[in-house]
Structure formats: structure tokens, C-alpha cells
């Protein structure tokens, strides 16, 4: 198992290289650049800017420099300047040597910030929202799916699956404003916009205070965002559980005289969880790295908008940073899924 | 006169499918005496398994439905008693072993967990007591190093070993009836013989009754006291095992025996086969269900369905034709 995890983490480097190469190639292939404006800037200004951000270097050199700054650890004996060009995500002082790693570069658009600033300030908010949305999705989706499967073809089933279809077909862009209108504007129960946590974060991503002040901001967006995923989880849970209870070993369990409740909890659920766990991996990666629409509707200062605006702005370091972040989360989430597989199914062993 | 343990009368089971209702079991009656072994034979799809699953109410419902009949076990009708009452009987007084030991165990639970379950449910043992008993049971069925293997998962056992574990699980609560649903079909021939021997030995030690479902007449010959032959959801012939092998009367039974290599015949003979496949019945046949495949079929066979009648002392038969003469009885 340990060797398997190490191997998978080494694969991660390959994934980062491939994803970064494709992204780098594609983003430079789009016409226009970070400093193209409707009202064109003077040629000298553009030249100066490009020189400053090394955009006048040949593309291969730009790419190699980028990978060098992001992937290769830097060691130095002099104290870091922490300028916009010199902002590393990992900073550690060992003896009198500075160990520094992962410089994603400055943002071209917001001149005073770096990509690492976005990771430090905005990513934790998205991660908090995404995690809560995933919890909502699981807490609603799994019981709904189990109930629908156990009461197949009864009103419970139709009700559960009706709710699920509603959840899938009503997007956040509709549900969000309805929530804001009812609970935020009319009833005034919950704040219509904003987020209840701000830097510094506990361990870099947890809200420093987990109280009502945090949750009253988080309830609406978490539910609005989680409901769609809960519908997917409910439908999948129902389908796999229905398939599992048709298995021979469930018949064996019945033939032993086991109580129906034990048959479901002990014999059926663990087996039917495997496909559900499979989709939770990518779902988690997608939710925690930022969700553009939800964050926009509820005025949450998360990561979501950077995925979209960085591309329209040709903000090269932000494009690269957001996409690599997503890739890393996806790979790590899938690694966790694989580890959970091995726990759920003893036939799966990775050596 | 030994006591009758199980008395099944006019059992009918149907399945609702998208193509219409399938009549899987059409009025099956049989009984089982204490200490007796009853063999039930027939091709796949004759209703053997469905009959037994119906008895224990293990038919998935829907689509399955027990439409008629009684199954009296020690005086109570298994088909009408409460779900809770039938659950108490399952695995306790009547237990069942299944055909495919690969799929009949839960892949994600340890063998110890699965075998100990009936002990905990029916005998009220604690998990720890049950596990000690499991080790004894696994020893009994010939699993080497039983103590070390209770924490293993089903995939760590071979097919034959798994079937031994299945038997240990079925016998754990000293059942009065063991229903074996083709327990050797999925196994190698050498393993088959071992499993048959094991069940025989345990049957004689424990003194339970056995219903052994198979399509292999060779296995039944050395195991059963009495044999019922099923076709199209009916029992078409029933006789003590020696009588059935020496004087088969139904053309289907004759056909089945003709397809079996015999060491007790002096001269060599060709193995015969029965052409065609058993029918899937979308309506209850008003003719003999075997008639379309029968070499002896006469006019009456296609018009009227024979019922199981007494042919000789304890030999019952459902056929219009005398196969010796080829004419109607």
C-alpha cells in the first residue's frame, strides 16, 4: 500500500507536466495577450511590461522557467525579498538555509497580488464552501437513495427520485437567487451575500472560528451548491443498492435467517458504496477548487471566478495556477478514492 | 413409521416478466421424512430451485409470487406464517446451500463473520462464542488451519473450500432439513466427490434430512433414498432410488438416464441425448409439457396434461404412454 501511494504521487508529477504543457500551449495559442486592450497601450509600455514579465523570452524558455519556479525547490542563504516576483507557497528556514518551493508567479491582472495570494486567501473559502456542499450532498443524497431503493416502486421511491430529478434539473443559477430572495431578502433569516470567515485561517484553510457567525453565511450557498450533487449521489446509491440486493450473497444472508435490517446494513451497504465513492472523488475536486456561479450569486470571495476571468484576461500565471491546482486536487482525490476502495473491498490490494 | 417433516402440497410459483407471466412451478407436491434424503433432478429451468426457494420464501418478490399451495413443516405452513416466524426457521431448522460458492459469499466480510451469523441469530451466542464454534465447524468440514482462516475473506479460499465453508455455515445450527441446491455443479469432479462424501458423513452423524437438487443423476444414485424428477414445473416421476434407476417409466427419466454413462451395464451402449430445451411456460400447459420433445408422444399427450398417479408401490408417474409397448396406457 505504501509503495502504491508513493508510485501514485510520482505519477502526479507526470500529470502536472502533461497538464501544464497542454495548458501552456493552448493559452499561448489564443489570440491576444494579457496587455491587449480595446484602447491599445503604447508600444513602448507593452514592451516594458513584456520585458518585466519575461514574455519576450522564447516560449520554451518561459515554460522551463515556469516549471523550474513551481516544481523545483529553491535553497538560498540570503533572506527572501518576498516581492511579487519572489513569492513562494512553501517557505521554511532550516538552520541558516532558506528552503522555498512553488512560486506560481504574479498575477498580470491584479498587479499587487500573486497567484499564491489567491491560493492563500481565496482557495480556503472555496474549500470551506465545497466541503460543506459535499457534506450536504452526502447527508441528503445517501439516505434518500437508500430509502428509495428499500421502498422501490412505492411513493417513498417516487418522492425521493422526484426530489433527485429536481435537484439535477434546477441549477444553482435558479436555486441560488430563489434562496437569496426568500431567506435573505424576504424573511431576513440569513445574510444574502458574503462569507463568514477571513484570513488568517487555521492550518491555512479552516475558518478560525466555527460558530453561528460562520454557518449563517454558509448555509444557503452550501445547500444550493450541494443539492445538485446530492441528486446524483441519491440516484447512484439507489441504483447500486438495488443491484446489490439482487446478489447471490444477499440471498445467502436471507437463507441464514438474518434480519432485514442487518442484511442491508452489514451485507448490502458496504458493497453498494463502491460506485458512490468513485464519483465522490472528482465531485470533491470540482467543489473545493471553486464554483464560479455559486460564488458569484452569493458574493463569496472564493477561487471560482479566477478560473473564468483569468482566461478572458489572458492572465497566464493565474490560468496555469488554477488549472494545475485542479489537476492536483483531482489526482489526490482519486488517490483517496483508491485507498477507500481497498478499505471497502478486501479483494482490492495494491501491491 | 418415520415422521413426515415436510409436506408440500400443490405449490405454484409464478414470475411476472415483461413478456407475461412465467409459470415456473405448477402444483408440486412432495414430502420428506425424518432422516430421509430426497433427490430432485431435472434439466436447468425445470423449476427445481424455484420450488425450494419458494418453500423458504426466498423468491424475490416482485416479480416472483407464490400463487398457491402449502408447505407444512412440523405442522405449520411455511407459506402463511409471519415473516418473522419464517426468518427464525431459515438457517435454524431448515438451511440451504447454494450452487455457486463464488457468488454466494459476501466478498467484503470475513468468513468468520459470515459463518458466525446464524449462531448468533438462532442460538443467541455472543460473537466470541460463535467464533470459537466456527473454528470447530470449519475443522469438521475439513478446512485446514481453521483458527487462522476465520479472518480471511471468501476470495482467499478455493471453490471447493468455499463450498465446505458454506456447508459448515448451513449446518451450524443443527438444522432438521438441509436443502442443497446443486452444491457441486460449479466444482471440479474430484472436489464434487469430496463434497458429496462430506454431506453424506455429516448427514449420518447429525441425522438430518436432506433435499439434494441436481441435474446429475450420477450423484443422486449414491446419495438419495428417493428421487423426484421435475420437468416444466411439474414432478413427472417419483420413486425410490433403486426403483427409478432400474425401472424408469417416464420418457424424460429414460432420456436422462440414457445420457448417463453406466458402469453396471455389460455391453457398451451409446449415450443418448434429448433433443430440444425445456420450455419456458407463459401459460399453464393443457398438454404434457414434455410432449414436444418426446419420442413416444401420442395424440392424447398433446391434448391433456397427465397428473402424477400411483404407478407401483411408492412409484409415481405422470405419463399417458407405456414406454414398453409404445401405446397409450
A124 domain-assigned = yes
* Beta-carbon separation of A256 and B90 below 8 A: yes
* Beta-carbon separation of A252 and B153 below 8 A: no
Task: Report the C-alpha gap between B308 and B313 in whole angstroms.
Answer: 14
Indicate whether B267 pLDDT > 80: no
| Residue A20 in grid coordinates | 501544464
Average pLDDT (A168-195) is 92
Q: Which of A274, A268, A279, A276 is nearest to A242 (CA)?
A: A268
Per-residue pLDDT band for B273 (boundaries 50, 70, 90) equals: confident
Indicate whether B288 pLDDT > 90: no
Indicate whether A197 pLDDT > 90: no
With beta carbons less than 8 A apart as the criterion, state whether A167 and A137 touch: no
Indicate whether B21 pLDDT > 90: no
Beta strand pairing call for B94-97 and B177-181: parallel
Higher model confidence: residue B123 or residue B324? B123
Among chain A, residues having any CB pair with chain B shorter than 8 Å are 246-249, 251-259, 266-267, 270-271, 344-347
What per-residue confidence (pLDDT) applies to A16? 92
Indicate whether A73 pLDDT > 80: yes
Average pLDDT (B31-39) is 91
Query: How many inter-chain contacts (A to B, CB under 8 Å) are there?
Result: 71
What per-residue confidence (pLDDT) applies to A325? 93
**A214 lies in which domain range?**
115-344
A84 domain-assigned = no
Indicate whether A147 pLDDT > 70: yes
* Beta-carbon separation of A267 and B109 below 8 A: yes
Q: What is the CATH number of the domain that holds A153?
A: 1.10.3720.10
CA–CA distance from A238 to each of A160, A230, A278 (Å)? 10, 12, 15
Q: Which residues of A touch B88 (CB under 8 A)?
A: 257
* Beta-carbon separation of A252 and B117 below 8 A: no
With beta carbons less than 8 A apart as the criterion, state whether B229 and B250 touch: yes
Q: Which residues of A touch B122 (CB under 8 A)?
A: 257
Q: How many other C-beta atoms are found inside a 10 Å radius of the C-beta of residue A3?
A: 9
Burial class of residue A216 in the structure, from the number of CB atoms within 10 Å of its CB (0-12 exposed, 13-18 middle, 19+ buried): middle
Indicate whether A109 pLDDT > 70: yes
Query: What percent of chain A has a predicted confidence (pLDDT) above 90?
Result: 60
Close Cβ partners of B15 (under 8 Å, ≥ 6 residues apart):
B21, B22, B24, B63, B64, B65
A130 domain-assigned = yes
Three-class HEC string of chain A: CHHHHHHHHHHHHHHHHHHHHHHHHHHHHCCCCCCCCCCCCCHHHHHHHHHHCCCCCCHHHHHHHHHHHHHCCEEECCCCCCCHHHCCCEEEEECCEEEEECCCCECCCCCCCEHHHHHHHCHHHHHHHHHHHHHHHHHHHHHHHHHHHHCCCCHHHHHHHHHHHHHHHCCHHHHHHHHHHHHHHHCCCCCCCCCCCCCCCECCCECCCCCHHHHHHHHHHHHHHHHHHHHHHHHHHHHHHHHHCCCHHHHHHHHCCCCHHHHHHHHHHHHHHHHHHHHHHHHHHHHHCCCHHHHHHCCCCCCHHHHHHHHHCCCHHHHHHHHHHHHHHHHHHHHHHHHHHHHHCCCCCCC
The region of weakest confidence among A20-34, B107-121, B176-190 is B176-190
The model's pLDDT over B151-174, given as tens digits with 9 standing for 90+, comes to 999 999 988 899 889 989 998 898
What per-residue confidence (pLDDT) applies to B52? 92
What per-residue confidence (pLDDT) applies to A59? 93
What per-residue confidence (pLDDT) applies to A240? 94
A245 domain-assigned = yes
What per-residue confidence (pLDDT) applies to B194? 85
Q: What is the pTM of this model?
A: 0.83
A225 domain-assigned = yes
Number of domains in chain A: 1
For A188-195, the CB contacts below 8 A with 24+ separation are: A190/A216, A190/A217, A190/A219, A190/A220, A191/A216, A191/A217, A192/A298, A192/A299, A193/A298, A193/A299, A193/A300, A194/A298, A194/A299, A194/A300, A195/A125, A195/A129, A195/A298, A195/A299, A195/A300, A195/A301, A195/A302
Which residue of chain B has the CA closest to A262?
B117
Q: How high is the ipTM of this complex?
A: 0.88
Which residue of chain B has the CA closest to A274?
B108
What per-residue confidence (pLDDT) applies to A231? 92
The model's pLDDT over A270-301, given as tens digits with 9 standing for 90+, comes to 899 889 999 999 999 999 988 999 999 999 99
A106 domain-assigned = no
| Closest Cβ opposite residue A255 in set B91, B103, B105 | B91
The model's pLDDT over B193-202, given as tens digits with 9 standing for 90+, comes to 888 888 888 8
Query: Looking at CA atoms only, how far is residue A267 from chain B in angstroms?
Result: 7
The model's pLDDT over A218-277, given as tens digits with 9 standing for 90+, comes to 999 999 999 999 999 999 999 999 999 989 999 999 999 999 899 999 999 989 988 999
Average pLDDT (A45-62) is 91
Per-residue pLDDT band for B1 (boundaries 50, 70, 90) equals: low
Average pLDDT (B270-296) is 82
> Strand B37-41's sheet: what is its strand order?
B94-97, B177-181, B209-214, B37-41, B226-231, B234-240, B315-317, B309-312
Average pLDDT (B143-153) is 91
Task: Report the C-alpha gap between B41 and B44 in whole angstroms.
Answer: 9
Which residue of chain A has the CA closest to B91?
A256
Average pLDDT of chain B is: 87
Higher model confidence: residue B1 or residue B197? B197
A149 domain-assigned = yes
Query: Looking at CA atoms only, how far is residue B203 from chain A in angstroms?
Result: 19
With beta carbons less than 8 A apart as the criterion, state whether A273 and A343 touch: no
Per-residue pLDDT band for B270 (boundaries 50, 70, 90) equals: confident
Per-residue pLDDT band for A351 (boundaries 50, 70, 90) equals: low
With beta carbons less than 8 A apart as the criterion, state whether B66 and B79 touch: yes
A82 domain-assigned = no
| Residue A117 in grid coordinates | 495570494
Measured in whole angstroms, how far is the alpha carbon of residue B45 from the centre of its chain? 13
Average pLDDT (B228-254) is 89
**Angle of CA points A7, A9, A13, to nearest 5°:** 110
Q: Which residues of B touch A254 (CB under 8 A)?
A: 58, 90
What per-residue confidence (pLDDT) applies to A158? 93
With beta carbons less than 8 A apart as the criterion, state whether B105 and B186 touch: no
Select from B106, B124, B152, B165 the residue whose CB has the most chain A CBs within 10 Å, as the one to mutate to test that interface.
B106
Close Cβ partners of A248 (under 8 Å, ≥ 6 residues apart):
B98, B100, B103, B104
Per-residue pLDDT band for B265 (boundaries 50, 70, 90) equals: low
Q: Does B87 touch chain A (CB under 8 A)?
A: yes
Q: Does B118 touch chain A (CB under 8 A)?
A: yes
What per-residue confidence (pLDDT) applies to A86? 84
Q: Which residues of B touch A247 (CB under 8 A)?
A: 103
Per-residue pLDDT band for A111 (boundaries 50, 70, 90) equals: confident
Higher model confidence: residue B266 or residue B176? B176
* Beta-carbon separation of A255 and B90 below 8 A: yes
**Angle of CA points B88, B103, B30, to nearest 5°:** 50
Indicate whether B328 pLDDT > 80: no
What per-residue confidence (pLDDT) applies to B7? 92
Measured in whole angstroms, how far is the alpha carbon of residue A243 from the centre of its chain? 30
Query: Looking at CA atoms only, how far is residue A344 from chain B in angstroms?
Result: 7
Amino acid at each position: 500500500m505504501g509503495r502504491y501511494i508513493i508510485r501514485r504521487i510520482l505519477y502526479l508529477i507526470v500529470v502536472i507536466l502533461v497538464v501544464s504543457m497542454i495548458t501552456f500551449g493552448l493559452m499561448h495559442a489564443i489570440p491576444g495577450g494579457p496587455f491587449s486592450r480595446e484602447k491599445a497601450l503604447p508600444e513602448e509600455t507593452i514592451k516594458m511590461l513584456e520585458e518585466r514579465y519575461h514574455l519576450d523570452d522564447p516560449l520554451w524558455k518561459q515554460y522551463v522557467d515556469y516549471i523550474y519556479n513551481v516544481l523545483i525547490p529553491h535553497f538560498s542563504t540570503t533572506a527572501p525579498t518576498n516581492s511579487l516576483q519572489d513569492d513562494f507557497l512553501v517557505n521554511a528556514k532550516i538552520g541558516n538555509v532558506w528552503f522555498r518551493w512553488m512560486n506560481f508567479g504574479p498575477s498580470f491582472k491584479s498587479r499587487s497580488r500573486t497567484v499564491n495570494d489567491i491560493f492563500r486567501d481565496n482557495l480556503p473559502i472555496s474549500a470551506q464552501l465545497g466541503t460543506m456542499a459535499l457534506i450536504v450532498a452526502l447527508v441528503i443524497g445517501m439516505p434518500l437513495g437508500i430509502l428509495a431503493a428499500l421502498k422501490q416502486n412505492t411513493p417513498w421511491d417516487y418522492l425521493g427520485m422526484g426530489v433527485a430529478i429536481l435537484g439535477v434539473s434546477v441549477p444553482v443559477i435558479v436555486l441560488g437567487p430563489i434562496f437569496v430572495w426568500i431567506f435573505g431578502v424576504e424573511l431576513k433569516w440569513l445574510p444574502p451575500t458574503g462569507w463568514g470567515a477571513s484570513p488568517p485561517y487555521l492550518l491555512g484553510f479552516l475558518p478560525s472560528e466555527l460558530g453561528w457567525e460562520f454557518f449563517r453565511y454558509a448555509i444557503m450557498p452550501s445547500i444550493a451548491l450541494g443539492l445538485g450533487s446530492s441528486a446524483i449521489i441519491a440516484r447512484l446509491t439507489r441504483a447500486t443498492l438495488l443491484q446489490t440486493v439482487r446478489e447471490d450473497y444477499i440471498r445467502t444472508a436471507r437463507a441464514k435467517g438474518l434480519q432485514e435490517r442487518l442484511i442491508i446494513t452489514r451485507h448490502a451497504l458496504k458493497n453498494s458504496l463502491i460506485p458512490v465513492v468513485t464519483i465522490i472523488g472528482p465531485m470533491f475536486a470540482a467543489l473545493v477548487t471553486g464554483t464560479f456561479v455559486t460564488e458569484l450569486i452569493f458574493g463569496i470571495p472564493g477561487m471560482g471566478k479566477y478560473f473564468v476571468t483569468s482566461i478572458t484576461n489572458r492572465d497566464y500565471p493565474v490560468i496555469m495556477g488554477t488549472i494545475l491546482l485542479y489537476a492536483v486536487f483531482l489526482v489526490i482525490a482519486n488517490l483517496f478514492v483508491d485507498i477507500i476502495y481497498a478499505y471497502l473491498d478486501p479483494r482490492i490490494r495494491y501491491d | 413409521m418415520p415422521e413426515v417433516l415436510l409436506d408440500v402440497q400443490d405449490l405454484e410459483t409464478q414470475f411476472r416478466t415483461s413478456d407475461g407471466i412465467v409459470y415456473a412451478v405448477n402444483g408440486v407436491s412432495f414430502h420428506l421424512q425424518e432422516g430421509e434424503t430426497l433427490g430432485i433432478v431435472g434439466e436447468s429451468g425445470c423449476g427445481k430451485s424455484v420450488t425450494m426457494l419458494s418453500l423458504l420464501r426466498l423468491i424475490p418478490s416482485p416479480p416472483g409470487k407464490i400463487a398457491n399451495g402449502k408447505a407444512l413443516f412440523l405442522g405449520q405452513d411455511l407459506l402463511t406464517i409471519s415473516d418473522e416466524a419464517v426468518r427464525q426457521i431459515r438457517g435454524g431448522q431448515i438451511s440451504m446451500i447454494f450452487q455457486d460458492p463464488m457468488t454466494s459469499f459476501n466478498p467484503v466480510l470475513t468468513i468468520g463473520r459470515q459463518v458466525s451469523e446464524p449462531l448468533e441469530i438462532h442460538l443467541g451466542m455472543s460473537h466470541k462464542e460463535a467464533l470459537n464454534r466456527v473454528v470447530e465447524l470449519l475443522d469438521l468440514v475439513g478446512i485446514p488451519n481453521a483458527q487462522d482462516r476465520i479472518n480471511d475473506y471468501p476470495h482467499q479460499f478455493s471453490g471447493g473450500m468455499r463450498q465446505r465453508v458454506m456447508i459448515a455455515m448451513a449446518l451450524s445450527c443443527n438444522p432438521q432439513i438441509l436443502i442443497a441446491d446443486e452444491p457441486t455443479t460449479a466444482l471440479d469432479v474430484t472436489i464434487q466427490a469430496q463434497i458429496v462424501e462430506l454431506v453424506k458423513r455429516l448427514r449420518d452423524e447429525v441425522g438430518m434430512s436432506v433435499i439434494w437438487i441436481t441435474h446429475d443423476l450420477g450423484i443422486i444414485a449414491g446419495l438419495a433414498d428417493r428421487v423426484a424428477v421435475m420437468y416444466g414445473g411439474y414432478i413427472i416421476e417419483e420413486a425410490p432410488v433403486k426403483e427409478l434407476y432400474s425401472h424408469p417409466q417416464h420418457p424424460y427419466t429414460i432420456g436422462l438416464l440414457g445420457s448417463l454413462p453406466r458402469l453396471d451395464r455389460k455391453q457398451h451402449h451409446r449415450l443418448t441425448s434429448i433433443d430440444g430445451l425445456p420450455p419456458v411456460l407463459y401459460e399453464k400447459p393443457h398438454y404434457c409439457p414434455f410432449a414436444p420433445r418426446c419420442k413416444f408422444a401420442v395424440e392424447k399427450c398433446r391434448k391433456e396434461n397427465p397428473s402424477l398417479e400411483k404407478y407401483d408401490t411408492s412409484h409415481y408417474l405422470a405419463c399417458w404412454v407405456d414406454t414398453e409397448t409404445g401405446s397409450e396406457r
